[in-house]
Amino acid sequence: MTEDIINLLFNSGKVKDSEEWDAIYQDDLPIAVAASTAELEEALNKLDVVGGYGYIATWKRNLFSFNPKMLSKRAGLIDENGNLLKVARIPKK
């Protein structure tokens, strides 16, 4: 199921391929896919490597399974079509 969401993301034209991450969003922030709530903790742990500056990609139908307010304090959120649901924090330079 993770492969399905990644394929849809690439077809959206809003993401780029990455060797290190599941994908890279338009603003060059990493994407970690959480196709289900069981994968959410692993995806957040991946983004902890970069201080949480990135996006969690999930199915739009799963939004009610997650707590978007708690999730958005750590990462941005996009759906399977690359639509921005919550903007990610940007690292200070």
Give pLDDT, residue 81: 92
Residue 32 lies in a domain: yes
pLDDT tens, residue by residue, 50-82 = 877 899 998 888 777 766 666 656 788 899 999
Q: Could you identify the residue written with the tokens 């983004």?
A: 47
Residue 91 lies in a domain: no
Give pLDDT, residue 67: 65
- Whether residue 18 contacts residue 34, with contact meaning beta carbons closer than 8 Å, is answered with no
Residue 81 lies in a domain: yes
Residue 10 lies in a domain: yes
Residue 40 lies in a domain: yes
Structural domain of 62:
2-86
Residue 93 lies in a domain: no
Number of domains in the chain: 1
The pTM for the full model equals 0.85
pLDDT tens, residue by residue, 15-50 = 999 999 999 998 789 999 998 888 888 988 898 888
Residue 13 lies in a domain: yes
Give pLDDT, residue 16: 93
